[in-house]
Amino acid sequence: MLEVTDLNVSYGAVNAVQGVALRADTGKVTLVLGANGAGKTTSLRAIAGYHKPKSGSVLVDGVDLAGRRAHTMVRNKLVLVPEGRRVFSTLTVEENLRIGGYRASRGAADATIAEVYEQFPILADRKDSQAGLLSGGEQQMLAFGRALMSQPKVILMDEPSMGLAPTMVDSVMTKVREIADGGIAVLIVEQNADAGIRIADDVAVITRGKTVWNGAAADADKAAVHAVLGESAFDENA
């Protein structure tokens, strides 16, 4: 379980994140919504150890890890799937997965790869292909699989549907739901509010670096989200 309280992040004199509070429970998806520049990605990167927060707490199963570096966060079972997927394009699918499980023994990595291939059959089919030759959706599945190689308790996901065809968005979001259902806490930033809310348990809305609303996805007020994100946040025909 992840609980973030009063997170503050600055870039020099600029306070990019000011008191963000977020929570992701084991086996559930928490969707983070907000307009461009609201502080969503900065919050994720600070939680994951890529930016050092000015203050605040980042609890993973009750242990405060705020300010730890990214490799330490991975050792403590928290991992980030970054925006843009960031796969190693010249390496094969399986080589990308093994990088994700670099801390595991060969036997343990082999066992986890087998589990990843079972969950993502397309990766098994493409295991010897260069990652750069995969479609955008397949690369996103690879990014998920690479994160799972570290056997995390918490996965942060930054805009997993970005740049994908509409038909692929549903497949990616279904996989996000399946990952959470497997017993992992998922905190996901997603600009496609409609697609995100369909698979989310809880929703947090961030504006101007602050959390302005937290609650169950079923209680998310479309009018309030429209006010923050604009009319394009939801597909009104869905």
Q: Is the pLDDT of residue 20 over 60?
A: yes
Is residue 94 helix, strand or coil? helix
Q: Which of the two residues, 232 and 13, has the higher pLDDT score?
A: 13
Binning pLDDT at 50, 70 and 90, where does residue 3 land? Answer: very high
DSSP 92: B
Q: What count of Cα atoms within 13 Å lies in the side-chain half-sphere of residue 74?
A: 17
SS3 category, 160: coil
Say what the pTM is. 0.89
Give the largest CA-CA distance in the chain.
51
pLDDT tens per residue, range 83-141: 988 999 999 999 999 999 988 888 889 999 999 999 999 999 999 999 999 999 999 99
Query: Which of 235, 190, 200 lies closest to 29 in space, CA to CA?
Result: 200
Give the long-range contacts of residues 197-202, CB within 8 A, separation 24 or more.
197/31, 198/173, 199/29, 199/173, 199/174, 200/29, 200/30, 200/31, 201/25, 201/28, 201/29, 201/30, 202/23, 202/24, 202/25, 202/28, 202/29, 202/30, 202/31
What pLDDT was estimated at residue 237?
44
- Sorted by where each starts, the structural domains of the chain and their CATH numbers stand as 2-84+148-162+171-233 (3.40.50.300)
Instruction: Tell me what the pLDDT averaged over the chain comes to.
Output: 90
- pLDDT by residue (tens digit) across 140-186? 999 999 999 999 999 999 999 998 888 899 999 999 999 999 999 99
Question: What are the pLDDT digits (tens) for 186-231?
Answer: 999 998 888 999 999 999 999 989 998 888 998 876 655 665 565 4
